[in-house]
Structures are given as structure tokens and as C-alpha cells.
């Protein structure tokens, strides 16, 4: 849509004075915006959903996972995929699929779909976003959390129930069977297969297992346990949720990888269990563990602390500290640790990723993501960095060469930038709102003037 044309039409209507406007939230230019861009990584692709709802993506596109409405081999530079038309709160991926959670509580999915990865009852690849369904004509709604695994997705509803779809050969859907697939979102069973799991706050889908945090901060898990990913030493797998026990509690965040699981506790410590052949558990060993072990501190002394976010890739892990520093451990065969001095065999203890600008100043990171063998991070000043494997151009730097250290992705210059400021009266009501939009090198600024009842009176084009 031509943004400036919309403004001109609205100006004409306002001058005529014959139309009563609805509240400002209904005006196109006053759409609800995300507070921050949302970054994501898939098997061999990467993307960002900007604060204006526009999707920018790069990397492998054999299954339409870039969301551009077409299937191509690959594209190594960020390009506009589409505009979501809704406010996106969270985004996650399966290997070749993407799940975006809207503020309306619906999940929009696109990409690979031969294994019902998109949960829409079809096996055609989705080149543009479409909703995850409960059946052929009913959307999955009221969602508060979503995550993607290898070829399955899982989501939590407002009522604390969990729903999953896609591949189920190892019981990773938690629906009481090991049927090959579920083409629509299906409700996860309760303990012992009785009733349905509830009181859940968030969920993470791994390679062949799924883990969930309940409202009490304890964990439930289901799926493959051949390497200990469920945190239970006495079973090989489970097609229904099993509880890790009340002793392991106060869990704030969870991230499931390939045969292992990482947990962040409310005290800022990190714990892990499962496969550890490449040091994925960060406990200073290469031994698998069927019960939680604490992640060591730098140099292997003490324990990692003050962590605020965690993300697991296929066989490596990232952790964000409260001071904005990023730490990694696990496999490093394609540079996924982001530390050039680290061994190609990986690290079984956390190592710090150096993120500095061209002047040598420390760059503070606010969010990160990992999948397969590459990672992405967003700084507090909205710079984007990637590192690791790059076989399909998934780092977004124009080539297919892997990087051992973070590289900056040039995506903002081609992205419309919105700036919004408000002026309030003594009672907190909006009197004036200014929106600045940059298109290329041109800056357009518009002012919305309101009366004391919150009604829009006028729109002024300040410049150019």
C-alpha cells in the first residue's frame, strides 16, 4: 500500500469534515508496532520481523521458507518477504519452516510442509504465511507461546493446554501414540495419558523431543530419551508428558536441542542434560547425562551466572548475560561458537563471543537465536550480527563462506524505519502524535492532532 497516498486521502476526508473517525488505533498509519525486531534462524535460513511487521529473510528457499511467495534455490542477502499485517509477538522455526505468533493469538506458518510441519492439514509447501489449524476449518487460537523442532511444532494456549503437530515417530507430540504424523494441531495428553496437560506457561520443541515449563516453574517432557533429553534416567522414550519432579524447579526458560535440553533458572544459573558428545551440556565433560547438571563458568571455574536468555542450536548453545555479553559452548565445526580462537572440535565450557564495533567499542546484545550450525544476535542499537555455517547464504552477507566470528548484516538501510513520539495532556490523554517514516534517503514526518476527547482532528504533513 502507498503510505503517502493513504495520508493524502485521509487529509481530503478530514478537510471535508463529513466523516467521523474511529479511535486512533483504527487508523492505518497508527497500527500497533512491536517494541523490537524479532530475529530467527532455521536449518539453513535466517530472518527478522521488523517492528513495522515487515519480514526480511535470506538463505535457503527450496521450500518457500523465506516467505516470499516463490520457491528458489537460495538468496544470500536480506530482502523483503512480505508484510504480516498483524503485530507479531514471537517467532520460531522448525528445520525448514517458520512459526510467527500474532498479538491476536494465532500462529502463521510458512515453509516446508511434507511432514505436516505447518499444521494446516496439507502437504504442500507454504510460500506465504497461513494459519495453523485445529481441523479443516478451525484455526488454533488463544496462543501465548510457540516453538518449532525438527519437523514438529508445539504451542501453549491461554488456558495452559499444549497443542502440537507434525512428525510424531518418537512420541514428540505427546498425544499418547507414536503415529507417524498429525496434520492438524492436536492436544497433548495429561500425566499417565489421562486427560490433558494443563497449567503450562511455555514450551520448547527439540529434534525429537519436547519440553514444557508449568506455572510452578517445574518441567514436563515427552518424546525421545535415548540420550537423556527428557531428564529421566529410567525410560527410552515417552509419548505422554513425564514430570522431572518438584526438586528441579524455579525454571524460567527452556530450550531443546538435538538430543539435549538447556534450562535457565530464575537465579540466572543454567542447567543441562542429554547428549554431550560435542560439549553441548557445558559442564566440562563429554559425557551424556540423564539428569540435570550445572553449566560451568568461564575457564571451567565455578558456574555460569547472571544469564537472562538461552538458545540451543542443533549441537551448540548460546547464553545472554545481563551485561549484554554472549557466551557459547558445544560443537564448532562451522564456527557456530563465534569465537575464532576456539577449537574446531568445540568447547565443553562457555566461551565469550567478542562483539565490538569498528572502533573497538563493546556492543551490547539484547536478543539472540540459534539453529543448526549458525546463529544470529540483535544489539540494543538494532544492529544485526550472524556467524557460523553459511552453505546457503544463511548469514546474509552476500556469499556462502562460513564465519568463525560475528559479521554485521546490512539490512536496515533498505528497511522502512518508523519513529513514533507522543505528547500527552495532564490527564495522560494523547494530544499529538508524530510519526516519521524513512523511505530510502527521504524522511517523511506526519503529525496527528487530537482533541481532549481523544478524537483525531487533523493530520499535518510536516516534511518534505
Query: In the predicted model, what is the mean pLDDT of residues 324-351?
Result: 97
Q: How many helices (H) and strands (E) does the chain have?
A: 1, 34
Question: Taking a C-beta distance cutoff of 8 angstroms, is the pair 96, 65 a contact?
Answer: yes
On the question of pLDDT at 378 being above 60, the answer is yes
On the question of pLDDT at 7 being above 90, the answer is no
Query: In the predicted model, what is the mean pLDDT of residues 405-410?
Result: 94
Same domain, 293 and 427: no
pTM of the predicted structure, to 2 decimals: 0.82
Segment 69-98, tens digit of pLDDT: 999 999 999 998 887 888 889 999 999 999
Question: Taking a C-beta distance cutoff of 8 angstroms, is the pair 36, 52 a contact?
Answer: no
Asked whether the bond before 153 is cis by omega within 30 degrees of 0, the reply is no
Range of the domain at 329: 36-415
Q: What is the pLDDT of residue 17?
A: 31
Same domain, 301 and 397: yes
Same domain, 307 and 453: no
Same domain, 338 and 447: no
Same domain, 92 and 213: yes
9-23, 221-235, 321-335, 445-459: range with lowest mean pLDDT: 9-23
Question: Taking a C-beta distance cutoff of 8 angstroms, is the pair 366, 357 a contact?
Answer: no
Angle at 199 between CA 197 and CA 205, to 5 degrees: 60
Angle at 145 between CA 272 and CA 156, to 5 degrees: 95
Query: In the predicted model, what is the mean pLDDT of residues 419-437?
Result: 71
Same domain, 142 and 248: yes
Q: How many CB atoms lie within 10 A of CB 320?
A: 21
Same domain, 332 and 427: no
Segment 343-367, tens digit of pLDDT: 999 999 999 999 988 788 899 999 9
On the question of pLDDT at 133 being above 70, the answer is yes
Query: What is the spatial distance between Cα 145 and Cα 131, in angstroms, rounded to a whole number?
Result: 15
**CB within 8 A of 131, min separation 6: which ones?**
106, 107, 108, 109, 120, 139, 140
**Domain total of the chain:** 2
- Using alpha carbons, select from 135, 134, 154, 155 the residue that is nearest to residue 143: 155
On the question of pLDDT at 240 being above 90, the answer is yes
Q: Could you tell me what percent of the chain has a pLDDT over 70?
A: 85
Query: In the predicted model, what is the mean pLDDT of residues 315-334?
Result: 97
For the chain, the average pLDDT equals: 87
On the question of pLDDT at 20 being above 60, the answer is no
Same domain, 119 and 190: yes
| Phi, then psi, of 30 in degrees rounded to 5 | -105, 35
**Torsion, CA 376, CA 94, CA 51, CA 377, rounded to 10:** -10
On the question of pLDDT at 381 being above 70, the answer is yes
Segment 254-299, tens digit of pLDDT: 999 999 999 999 999 999 999 999 999 999 999 999 999 999 999 9
Segment 191-217, tens digit of pLDDT: 999 999 999 999 999 999 999 999 999
Q: What is the pLDDT of residue 87?
A: 84
Query: In the predicted model, what is the mean pLDDT of residues 20-38?
Result: 38
Among 406-410, 412-416, 424-428, 448-452, the range of highest mean pLDDT: 406-410
On the question of pLDDT at 379 being above 70, the answer is yes
**CATH number assigned to the domain comprising residue 182:** 2.130.10.30
Same domain, 254 and 357: yes
Query: What is the spatial distance between Cα 200 and Cα 260, in angstroms, rounded to a whole number?
Result: 21
On the question of pLDDT at 117 being above 80, the answer is yes
Q: What is the pLDDT of residue 14?
A: 36
* Beta-strand relationship, 442-450 and 430-439: antiparallel
On the question of pLDDT at 249 being above 90, the answer is yes
| Phi, then psi, of 381 in degrees rounded to 5 | -100, 20
Cell of 60: 535457503
Query: What is the spatial distance between Cα 185 and Cα 260, in angstroms, rounded to a whole number?
Result: 24
Q: Sorting pLDDT into bands at 50, 70 and 90, what band is 375?
A: very high
Q: What is the pLDDT of residue 21?
A: 24
Same domain, 169 and 274: yes
On the question of pLDDT at 114 being above 70, the answer is yes
Same domain, 261 and 127: yes
Same domain, 198 and 307: yes
On the question of pLDDT at 64 being above 90, the answer is yes
Query: In the predicted model, what is the mean pLDDT of residues 54-68?
Result: 94
Amino acid at each position: 500500500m502507498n503510505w503517502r497516498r493513504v495520508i493524502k486521502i485521509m487529509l481530503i476526508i478530514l478537510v471535508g469534515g463529513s466523516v467521523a473517525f474511529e479511535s486512533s488505533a483504527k487508523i492505518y498509519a497508527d497500527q500497533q508496532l512491536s517494541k523490537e525486531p524479532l530475529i530467527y534462524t532455521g536449518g539453513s535460513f535466517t530472518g527478522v520481523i521488523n517492528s513495522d511487521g515487515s519480514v526480511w529473510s535470506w538463505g535457503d528457499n527450496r521450500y518457500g521458507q523465506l516467505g516470499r511467495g516463490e520457491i528458489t534455490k537460495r538468496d544470500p542477502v536480506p530482502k523483503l518477504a512480505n508484510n504480516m499485517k498483524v503485530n507479531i509477538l514471537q517467532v520460531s522455526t522448525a528445520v525448514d519452516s517458520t512459526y510467527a505468533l500474532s498479538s491476536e493469538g494465532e500462529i502463521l506458518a510458512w515453509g516446508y510442509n511434507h511432514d505436516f510441519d505447518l499444521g494446516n492439514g496439507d502437504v504442500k509447501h507454504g510460500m506465504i504465511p497461513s494459519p495453523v489449524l485445529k481441523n479443516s476449518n478451525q484455526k488454533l487460537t488463544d496462543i501465548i507461546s510457540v516453538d518449532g523442532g525438527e519437523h514438529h511444532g508445539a504451542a501453549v494456549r491461554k488456558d495452559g493446554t499444549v497443542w502440537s503437530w507434525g512428525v510424531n515417530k518418537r512420541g514428540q507430540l505427546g498425544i499418547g501414540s507414536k503415529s507417524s504424523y498429525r496434520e492438524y494441531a492436536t492436544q497433548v495428553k495429561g500425566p499417565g495419558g489421562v486427560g490433558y496437560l494443563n497449567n503450562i506457561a511455555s514450551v520448547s520443541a527439540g529434534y525429537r523431543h519436547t519440553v514444557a515449563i508449568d506455572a510452578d516453574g517445574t518441567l514436563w517432557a515427552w518424546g525421545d530419551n535415548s540420550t537423556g533429553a527428557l531428564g529421566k534416567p529410567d525410560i527410552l522414550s515417552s509419548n505422554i508428558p513425564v514430570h522431572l519432579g518438584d526438586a528441579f524447579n524455579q525454571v524460567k526458560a527452556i530450550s531443546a536441542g538435538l538430543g539435549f535440553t538447556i534450562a535457565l533458572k530464575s537465579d540466572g544459573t543454567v542447567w543441562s542434560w542429554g547428549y554431550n558428545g560435542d560439549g553441548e551440556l557445558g559442564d566440562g565433560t563429554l559425557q551424556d547425562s540423564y539428569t540435570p547438571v550445572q553449566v560451568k563458568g568461564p575457564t571451567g571455574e565455578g558456574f555460569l551466572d547472571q544469564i537472562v536468555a538461552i538458545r540451543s542450536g542443533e549441537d551448540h548453545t548460546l547464553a545472554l548475560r545481563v551485561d549484554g555479553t554472549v557466551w557459547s559452548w558445544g560443537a564448532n565445526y562451522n564456527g557456530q561458537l563465534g569465537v575464532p580462537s576456539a577449537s574446531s572440535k568445540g568447547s565443553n565450557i562457555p566461551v565469550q563471543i567478542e562483539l565490538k564495533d569498528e572502533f573497538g567499542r563493546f556492543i551490547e546484545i539484547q536478543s539472540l537465536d540459534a539453529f543448526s550450525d549458525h546463529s544470529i544476535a540483535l544489539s540494543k542499537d538494532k544492529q544485526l550480527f550472524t556467524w557460523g555455517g553459511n552453505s546457503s547464504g544463511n548469514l546474509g552477507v552476500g556469499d556462502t563462506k562460513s564465519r568463525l566470528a560475528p559479521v554485521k548484516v546490512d539490512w536496515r538501510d533498505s528497511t522502512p524505519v518508523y519513529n513514533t513520539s507522543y505528547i500527552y495532556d495532564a490527564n495522560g490523554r494523547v494530544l499529538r502524535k508524530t510519526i516519521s517514516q524513512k523511505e530510502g534517503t527521504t524522511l517523511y514526518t506526519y503529525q496527528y492532532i487530537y482533541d481532549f476527547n481523544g478524537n483525531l482532528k487533523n493530520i499535518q504533513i510536516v516534511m518534505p
